[in-house]
């Protein structure tokens, strides 16, 4: 039933806005191109992650317990799962290396959630890959808008949630529902059913020792697919999930959104997804400025070593430095990638951060640990949305003082392709990289998704 715009629920207004972006004029070519790039990046990372033992095998073992086959494929495996389990597994694989795309202001990884949901939905209903591209672009847009509404910092609304997970339920639900061709009413119900599962407390990141930190986007991908399937079957979710008395924002984010935040969510023009970046290094985004700064520092050493370093951080990065003794000597690869002092020391010693150098067996490297023990942390930088440049003050073994400041990164199209090739090589699929890239680049033209999951191609290579 048609209702006046001012009396429509916020969920319905969001759904209608995003659906119209697909149906009225279509998604702009540059956004679809970007979505294709991010899909290719995520697929390559997911394949590479199948070598991240023992976590990948633990993940596949867990998802196979009691499973009797299904309609949907899993990266690098001959297994077939029910849609929700396949979405969970693929999302976990895409994120487990901490190499997936990132929106800085929103502080979330959209494609790790939306792509697995869209792929599972497409395999279930036989939808073409072209529909997956649109669904990923729109699901990513929803997640990025929700994140930018709060633009979290080290403290304040949103800072204690994995927003990838919290908002990912909605992005995954939207993506799956769009691929399945659900009606507006069903998609509104999908968002309501996604809300009923919402979670994402960040203690797995603030604490140490939990390898589960690597898989938090998977819960959202699974939940979003589940929500869409329930809605498709006729279950009605709460339409007031975003603006009711016990809505998402009131319960999870300290109160209802402001008029400006709602206006951003419903902005008819522009694409927040456009600001999402493809990572150059397989570590937490908050560590990237420090990797960049240490690479600049190494260029100035002139053969000298480093006697001590003071690393300046803001309140956001400070949470990746405490407790300092544990962050200097991480016991899990997940903690290492999430540690500013460890990643600073690692980069200084190795001069490169990639899948071949940053691995579980290297956590006991005495050279890295010795440097990490000399690093002091100073919380002197201003906290703000996004990620400010890193600052490092080093004293060299020949008595010089060097100050460096560095931060931003951007991967060119060539850089994205080089990363894709490196991930495929790490996965043991180097010979298939050219053919897979060509198919990903022409994703719209593919008839189905068999090339991602069939046993004669990339499936079952583990």
pLDDT attached to residue 385: 81
Please tell me what DSSP assigns to residue 72. E
- Residues 376-386: what's their mean pLDDT? 90
**CA distances to 45, 285, 287, 444 from 98, in Å:** 9, 8, 11, 27
Q: Which domains does the chain have, with CATH numbers?
A: 5-275 (1.10.4100.10), 285-406 (3.30.1330.120)
Indicate the Cα dihedral angle 209, 210, 211, 215, nearest 10°.
Answer: -150
pLDDT attached to residue 461: 53
pLDDT attached to residue 456: 41
pLDDT class of 139 with cuts at 50, 70, 90:
very high
pLDDT class of 1 with cuts at 50, 70, 90:
very low
- Over the stretch 213-264, which tens digit does the pLDDT of each residue have? 999 999 999 999 999 999 999 999 999 999 999 999 999 999 999 999 999 9
Q: Given CA atoms 176, 178, 182, 184 in this order, what sign does their dihedral have?
A: positive
More confident residue, 461 or 364: 364
pLDDT attached to residue 3: 44
What does the block give as tokens for 239? 């339409």
What does the block give as tokens for 151? 């633009």
Overall pTM surpassing 0.75 (yes/no): yes
pLDDT attached to residue 462: 44
pLDDT attached to residue 18: 97
**CA distances to 158, 325, 340, 374 from 313, in Å:** 19, 17, 9, 16
Comparing CA positions, the residue from 441, 419, 440, 455 lying closest to residue 48 is 419
**CA distances to 14, 110, 217, 451, 459 from 241, in Å:** 12, 21, 21, 38, 38
Average pLDDT, the chain: 93
- Rounded Cα–Cα distance for residues 139 and 115 (Å): 9
Q: Comparing 52-56, 177-181, 301-305, 330-334, which segment has the lowest mean pLDDT?
A: 52-56
- Over the stretch 79-90, which tens digit does the pLDDT of each residue have? 899 999 999 999
Cβ distance 280 to 101 under 8 Å?
no
- Over the stretch 85-116, which tens digit does the pLDDT of each residue have? 999 999 999 999 999 999 999 999 999 999 99
- Rounded Cα–Cα distance for residues 66 and 422 (Å): 35
């Amino acid at each position: 039933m048609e209702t006046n715009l001012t009396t429509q629920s916020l969920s319905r207004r969001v759904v209608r806005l995003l659906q119209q972006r697909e149906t009225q004029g279509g998604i702009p070519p540059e956004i679809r191109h970007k979505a294709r790039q991010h899909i290719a990046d995520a697929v390559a990372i997911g394949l590479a992650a199948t070598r991240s033992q023992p976590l990948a095998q633990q993940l596949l073992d867990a998802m196979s317990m009691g499973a009797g086959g299904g309609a949907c494929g899993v990266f690098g495996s001959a297994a077939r799962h029910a849609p929700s389990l396949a979405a969970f597994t693929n999302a976990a694989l895409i994120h487990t290396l901490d190499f997936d795309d990132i929106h800085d202001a929103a502080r979330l990884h959209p494609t790790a959630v939306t792509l697995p949901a869209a792929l599972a939905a497409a395999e279930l209903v036989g939808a073409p890959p072209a529909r997956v591209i649109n669904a990923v672009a729109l699901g990513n847009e929803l997640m990025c808008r929700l994140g930018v509404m709060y633009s979290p910092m080290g403290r304040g609304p949103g800072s204690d949630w994995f927003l990838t997970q919290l908002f990912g339920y909605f992005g995954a639900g939207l993506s799956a529902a769009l691929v399945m061709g659900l009606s507006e009413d069903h998609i509104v119900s999908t968002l309501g059913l996604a809300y009923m599962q919402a979670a994402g407390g960040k203690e797995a990141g603030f604490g140490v020792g939990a390898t589960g930190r690597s898989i938090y986007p998977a819960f959202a991908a699974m939940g979003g697919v589940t929500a869409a399937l329930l809605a498709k079957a006729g279950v009605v979710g709460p339409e007031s999930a975003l603006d009711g008395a016990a809505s998402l924002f009131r319960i999870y984010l300290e109160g209802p959104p402001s008029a400006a935040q709602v206006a951003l969510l419903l902005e008819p023009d522009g694409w927040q997804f456009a600001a999402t970046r493809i990572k150059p290094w397989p570590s937490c985004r908050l560590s990237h400025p420090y990797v960049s700064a240490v690479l600049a520092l190494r260029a100035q050493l002139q053969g000298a070593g480093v006697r001590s370093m003071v690393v300046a951080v803001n309140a956001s990065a400070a949470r990746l430095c405490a407790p300092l003794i544990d962050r200097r000597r991480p016991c899990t690869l997940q903690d290492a990638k999430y540690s500013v002092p460890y990643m600073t020391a690692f980069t200084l010693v190795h001069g490169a951060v990639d899948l071949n150098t940053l691995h579980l067996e290297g956590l006991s490297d005495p050279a890295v640990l010795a440097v990490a023990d000399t690093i002091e942390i100073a919380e002197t930088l201003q906290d703000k949305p996004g990620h400010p440049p890193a600052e490092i003050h080093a004293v060299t073994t020949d008595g010089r003082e060097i100050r460096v400041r560095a931060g931003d990164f951007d991967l060119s199209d060539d850089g994205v392709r080089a990363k894709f090739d490196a991930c495929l090589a790490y996965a043991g699929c180097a010979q298939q990289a050219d053919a897979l890239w060509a198919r990903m680049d022409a994703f719209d033209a593919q008839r189905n998704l068999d090339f991602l999951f069939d046993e004669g191609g990339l499936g079952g290579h583990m």
